[in-house]
Chains A and B, each alone.
Chain A
């Protein structure tokens, strides 16, 4: 079969196509069609020639096959040290082989490459820091994902995910109308406790523009309210955007670079339109990677920077605590042992380890580091989109074991995970392995520990009295 009706080289561009693909529950028909999907070798080879340049080719060529990347890979460690889980083997037998064969590969090869690119690598980039030659296999797997996506070999959920970005400008079916409604509803709800609290929308020239993850309005609207409460507490002049509010990119996990560009352009357009002094993103790792770290390149910004200074939530929070704009009640600090998950996307790949440690120093009395940590930390096990792919659920659940053991070794039962992907992975880890742990974002913890300034207390009392 040249191209399937669901599984094909065309990205999802319309709501109708998206709904049709969604209706194929679990991608049963989709994956069936994939088994017959044609590989256009000429197209594949011309793509490789155009985009696989000296950095990647050199990586593939000079790999000394020393296996120093083996131990660095969380998949290798939990899969009985299977030699086929060594990063160098995984990339050489997929992308390396594809290039050596000048694109003359068959359907089975492509499906195996897909299983490796999404089911055996979370693009955490840890192996790259263990290679004497500086070969970043995570970067290559991300590149391979793009090639596979263009050829139609992409996990069902991620084809949907990138389609969501193309159709709704968000990773989920949250329209701008839904989004604005959710914010209004959250403002009303939160006002009961925080009378003067506002969730400002489309305010030009505010100090701060806040962007977030579509899951928040869709599934955890209280997270939007919590962000508003903390801005309110800190006395921040802030706003959100009715368009360009969604910071995440399932398209990045899918390797749909055009959708990546479209998505991040929405956010940058909002920045240009509202001209904030600073943009702050929510507690999400890949959203930060997509919009702050990689995004400038997708839209072709030569300086590699977003249109305005753009920071992660933990950077803002560390600053607020440092400057005393949010104060922690010493009596309410976390007394029990608590540990912290370092997100690969903003710690190894954006250097923010110090910020989260600084936050911990203000809020925890018994903070326990995982080992290893910071830049050297292991992936939660669900990164790179793996959390969301049904086809690789078994692989994902196994991949959680490294994090499980790291958490157990700290002796802590509370894990702070300022990243949506890590948060999900740790939640699933508890479900799968039942350690009796709890996990949390920073926002709800900070709110529960913060000192409420007198003027806000007075407003709350007035509000109660009037009612």
Chain B
């Protein structure tokens, strides 16, 4: 058990992080490499500066809860979505337990959240995942669209939250929760570049592309403001 723990917090973690960051960076690079101004019909390079403005707006507006027509139209989903995504982004970076591992690997402490705050955000994120799942099952238009992959991705992303929470609160079976937490989290890191989780990077690429499309080609010259997402 101890060896496994040492592996998962040492070399295993390093490999998972390398695959995660390397893989996602590669996906982002390949995305840009595969853009084609003629096929996409967007003159990216000649109007690059104008395009960047549109890209930034297109990303920024969608990162604000209720910041777009789309978010406002689906308030239930918006709450679940942001509760979940805030948790999965912030917690891995700011949980005290992770700071310990970071110290072992890097040799210095990172700032971290007080345990109560970490618990709060974890529960919000788990609640958010629950809302997302409930919506996926309850709404016919979403259920009909969903494939096993969509459920699997949500499950894979929620497992580290759930197991991490149980381990941090020292629930019975602590060792197993901790192990499950590390295995599921590292599986998630490793699978991210190869599954729909690639949206961690490709969300930004795709949003930026459409932002550029609207600001370079589809009316950026006339609208006066950025596209009213």
Contacts and interface: CB of A to CB of B under 8 A. Distances in A.
A303 B43 CA distance: 6
B69 interface: yes
Interface in A50-95: 51, 53-55, 57-59, 61-62, 64-68, 70-72, 76, 81, 83-84, 86, 88-89, 92
A300 B37 CA distance: 9
Nearest to B215: A351
Contacts of A349: 218-219
B49 interface: no
Contacts of A71: 73-74
B33 A61 contact: no
Contact of B228 (A128, A133, A375): A375
Contact of A89 (B71, B145, B199, B217): B145
Interface residues of A, number: 57
Contact of A304 (B144, B198, B217): B217
Interface in B205-225: 205-207, 209-211, 213, 216-224
A66 B77 contact: yes
Question: Chain B interface secondary structure, helix, strand, loop or mixed?
Answer: helix
Contacts of A67: 139, 141-142, 145
Given A54-B35, A84-B144, A304-B42, A130 B203 contact: no
B111 interface: no
A134 B203 CA distance: 8
B106 interface: no
A133 B196 CA distance: 12
B140 A81 contact: yes
A374 interface: yes
A58 B209 CA distance: 11
A252 B199 CA distance: 31
A374 B223 CA distance: 11
B70 to A, nearest CB: 4
A131 B73 CA distance: 11
Interface in A152-166: none
Interface of B: 30-43, 46-47, 58, 62, 69-71, 73-74, 77, 81, 139-147, 150, 196, 198-199, 202-203, 205-207, 209-211, 213, 216-224, 227-229
Interface of A: 51, 53-55, 57-59, 61-62, 64-68, 70-72, 76, 81, 83-84, 86, 88-89, 92, 128-136, 293-294, 296-298, 300, 302-305, 315, 348-355, 372, 374-376
25 contacts: A53-B35, A55-B34, A55-B39, A55-B40, A57-B34, A61-B202, A64-B196, A64-B199, A65-B145, A70-B142, A81-B140, A83-B143, A83-B144, A89-B145, A132-B62, A134-B58, A134-B62, A296-B43, A302-B37, A303-B43, A304-B42, A304-B216, A349-B219, A350-B222, A353-B223
